[in-house]
Structure 1
Amino acid sequence: MRARPGTLQVGSFRGVPIRVHFSLLVALPLLALSFSAALQQAAETADVPPGALGGHSWAWGLAVAVGLFVSVLLHEMAHTFYALRHGGEVHGITLMIVGGVSELAEVPKRPRDEAMMALVGPLTSLGLAAVLGVVTWLVHGLGLFQVQFALFTLAMLNAVLGVFNLLPAFPMDGGRIVRAALTPRLGMVRATKVAAALGRVFAVAFGVWGVVSLNPFTLVVAFFVLMGAEGEARQVRMKALLEQVRVEALMTPRMVGVDLDLSMQDAHWALRREHVGMLPVTSSGRPIGYVTWAAVQAVPESQRGGYMVRDAMEDGAVAELSEDGWTALRRMAEARVPLVAVVDEEGLLAGTLDWNDLQRGLSRAEEAERERSRTGWPRERTA
């Protein structure tokens, strides 16, 4: 599986890649500095005498920051474990500047399943907080001040993480629970709009608090909450529209690609003739990959005649004429390719579908939806 841009894979869980976003490298020292500045106050809250911790405050701040993201990782692993146990597919877990995300192949179709999958993360965090809180109570009075402080801090971090994610707004888990509760009555799109609107309200509240308290990290959280709410709303609307349109109506018809055994000079002329930046590579009329203008340009003009398409092509994805646009878009995203080759019933090339085709299809679907609204047709069936 290709690495996602801006991330570094650091491990895996049940075959699911665990990645760290580069923004986390910026967040860790900032969080460490913030925690170190409040270390003495935190020690007093944990009932640890002044000076009993030892070590540099910045080192403790870094340890707390790392503990926070380990807690986030356990939270996301709970989501992933539940999804995998119930037949779901997870493409990865990514830790970012404001937390983590489990990348699902698809939102569960039953609202109840989505609610349960969203709930296991906060419950895991709150469960860890409870267990760590009990252990903290057990070691209290034994003079193990460093252990007591570490346990108390991790308990508090997990408690905050659990409560924060239960806020009833996107992109937090509570927003997914709200959507799952509303979907049977409102349908997926309208339920998502409600949860996303709540997300915007919380984003504004975080932003105002960040300005009042002069806390830049809270402002960053506000920004990511707002972007997450907007992104979720856009994705669900796009899904609802594209599921109504077949690939055949979206694609650019194309019966001929670039044959596997042709030279890069032939690919150069084919791309120029079609006025496109990429074309599918075919073998006996069946698509097996694609070749790009950039790959052609990377070969010196004098050498293109002796350099074969098979040496420069990239792996591609395939969609069928009868499939819907959302399925094709998912295949494109999962394979991380800029286009999919569309095949007929016999597996022969029938066309190509790229983001421009999908955008045009979305525009037509939105216009059709507006027309249905004017004529009184229902826009969405509730589950």
Structure 2
Amino acid sequence: MRARPGALQVGSFRGVPIRVHVSLLVALPLLALSFGGALQQAAETADVPPGALSGHPWAWGLAVAVGLFLSVLLHEMAHTLYALRHGGEVHGITLMIVGGVSELAEVPKRPRDEAVMALVGPLTSLGLAAFLGALTWLVHGLGMFQVQFALFTLAMLNAVLGGFNLLPAFPMDGGRIVRAALTPRLGLLRATRVAAGLGRMFAVLFGVWGLVTLNPFTLVVAFFVLMGAEGESRQVRMKALLERVNVEALMTPRMVGVDLDLSMQDAHWALRHEHVSMLPVTSAGRPVGRVTWAAAQAVPEAQRGGYVVRDAMEDGVVADLREDGWAALRRMAEARVPMAAVVDEEGLLAGTLDWNDIQRGMARAEEAERQRSGPGWPRERTA
């Protein structure tokens, strides 16, 4: 739902930011060394004579590593393009150490749409593999060994990328296809549990294989697959809980904020008195932004009386008393704001909502569901 921490924006596609995670910057040299060390074996596989490749093996390794992540980018752009053409909202594409992720505002509501959107990525990769493989066949025997090797390697990378993402487990695309197929019968929550369980199983298999072969990259893949499966399962579970709870039941009641025309000295005192890192800024009782402890601290103590809150306030997020907690959390995450001001029917401040409120509300809702449902919680109506 939001930009991942540790990611740097390097471009955009149809208005969608393209980011590179710092893990990728660490992975590229390691992949270059790995590919460079296996260059001779790779050349033999591509039917390129020994010594026909000019240049340092590590340079070839780096080129192959960059080619892999360009292939991942095309894979993710296919997901993004499908989502945008079907009315979806994508907040960004992030390239990471084990691939990429398209950050959707929301999972498609129809299982069929999720399945097709998941499928277009691997089909794009496999299509590229077939196209590059055909070009490799065309240049074979022409003595263009550098081109032949590059085309063959990129074809193999895309074939592996497409096949890997079709594994029927989260966080790969195949896991989303499995969930989409099971959702009409099991419901979204239980279908996610099955796909996440398959993801954990594959993570264990990757981990065992990495230990047996002493391959650190396979161990890293196992770790990220496990984290992806856990994260997807946790998010869907959170969504299922919060959609049933109104913001009013989650929020911290608060009738008074920091008035727009108060001094920063007053804001500093209010933040200290409330023991919070931020408070809503109000005008005539209506929230218009937020003021943070960091902003108050940034003004020298001797000068706080000469600055008013409107000079230092930041944009905020507003939530309605009657809307569900998931909708409010999504809006906070998309705006990258850790607190929402809650308003009543007249638009007046009624409370605040932050992550601590959400965690406490989820714990209460979870306990209530357990007591109502008994063993086997949570139960979900099938479609």
Match of 2:336 in 1: 336
Alignment-mate amino acid for residue 164 of structure 1: F
Question: Structure 1, residues 136-182: CA drift from partner, whole Å, max 9, x if none?
Answer: 10111111110000000000000000000000000000000000011
* Deviation of the 1:377 alpha carbon: 9.4
Match of 2:207 in 1: 207
Alignment-mate amino acid for residue 42 of structure 1: A
SS of corresponding position for 1:280: strand
Unaligned runs of 5+ in 2: none
Does the 8 A contact of 1:114 with 1:176 survive in 2?
A: yes
* Deviation of the 1:3 alpha carbon: 6.5
SS of corresponding position for 1:53: coil
Distance 2:49 2:347 in 1: 73
Distance 1:111 1:264 in 2: 51
Larger displacement relative to structure 2 (369-378 or 271-280): 369-378
* Deviation of the 1:184 alpha carbon: 0.7
Distance 2:374 2:218 in 1: 43
Match of 1:160 in 2: 160
SS of corresponding position for 1:125: helix
Normalised by the length of structure 2, the TM-score is 0.97
SS of corresponding position for 2:374: helix
Does the 8 A contact of 1:285 with 1:349 survive in 2?
A: yes
Using a 3 Å threshold, how does the CA distance of structure 1 residues 5 and 217 change in structure 2: closer, same or farther?
A: same
Question: Structure 1, residues 209-251: CA drift from partner, whole Å, max 9, x if none?
Answer: 0011110000000000000000111110000000000011111
* Deviation of the 1:271 alpha carbon: 1.7
Distance 1:379 1:105 in 2: 26
Larger displacement relative to structure 2 (66-75 or 299-308): 299-308
Distance 2:272 2:62 in 1: 55
1:74 and 2:79 are equivalent in the alignment: no
* Deviation of the 1:375 alpha carbon: 9.2
Alignment-mate amino acid for residue 78 of structure 1: A
Match of 1:368 in 2: 368
Distance 2:287 2:51 in 1: 69
SS of corresponding position for 2:281: strand
Distance 2:4 2:242 in 1: 25
* Deviation of the 1:269 alpha carbon: 1.8
1:51 and 2:51 are equivalent in the alignment: yes
Distance 1:116 1:3 in 2: 24
* Deviation of the 1:379 alpha carbon: 2.7
Question: Structure 1, residues 275-317: CA drift from partner, whole Å, max 9, x if none?
Answer: 3221001122221211112221222211110122122212111
1:97 and 2:97 are equivalent in the alignment: yes
* Deviation of the 1:382 alpha carbon: 1.6
Alignment-mate amino acid for residue 56 of structure 2: H
* Deviation of the 1:378 alpha carbon: 7.6
Alignment-mate amino acid for residue 241 of structure 2: L
Distance 1:215 1:209 in 2: 8
Does the 8 A contact of 1:175 with 1:199 survive in 2?
A: yes
Question: Structure 1, residues 36-89: CA drift from partner, whole Å, max 9, x if none?
Answer: 000000000000011111111110000000000000000000000000000000
Does the 8 A contact of 1:76 with 1:102 survive in 2?
A: yes
Using a 3 Å threshold, how does the CA distance of structure 1 residues 129 and 375 change in structure 2: closer, same or farther?
A: closer
Match of 1:294 in 2: 294
SS of corresponding position for 1:183: helix
Does the 8 A contact of 1:289 with 1:316 survive in 2?
A: yes
Identity of aligned residues (%): 88
Does the 8 A contact of 1:280 with 1:289 survive in 2?
A: yes
Distance 1:43 1:149 in 2: 7
Match of 2:303 in 1: 303
Match of 1:354 in 2: 354
SS of corresponding position for 1:35: helix
* Deviation of the 1:345 alpha carbon: 2.0
Normalised by the length of structure 1, the TM-score is 0.97
Which structure 2 residues correspond to residues 259-270 of structure 1 after superposition, within 5 A? 259-270=259-270
Does the 8 A contact of 1:52 with 1:146 survive in 2?
A: yes
Using a 3 Å threshold, how does the CA distance of structure 1 residues 50 and 361 change in structure 2: closer, same or farther?
A: same
Unaligned runs of 5+ in 1: none
Does the 8 A contact of 1:88 with 1:105 survive in 2?
A: yes
Distance 1:315 1:37 in 2: 52
Distance 1:328 1:121 in 2: 30
Match of 1:139 in 2: 139
Does the 8 A contact of 1:209 with 1:218 survive in 2?
A: yes
Match of 2:237 in 1: 237
Does the 8 A contact of 2:206 with 2:219 survive in 1?
A: yes
Distance 2:253 2:3 in 1: 32
* Deviation of the 1:4 alpha carbon: 4.8
SS of corresponding position for 1:351: strand
RMSD, aligned α-carbons: 1.4
Match of 2:318 in 1: 318
Distance 1:288 1:336 in 2: 17
Distance 1:295 1:23 in 2: 31
Distance 1:208 1:376 in 2: 31
Distance 2:49 2:183 in 1: 52
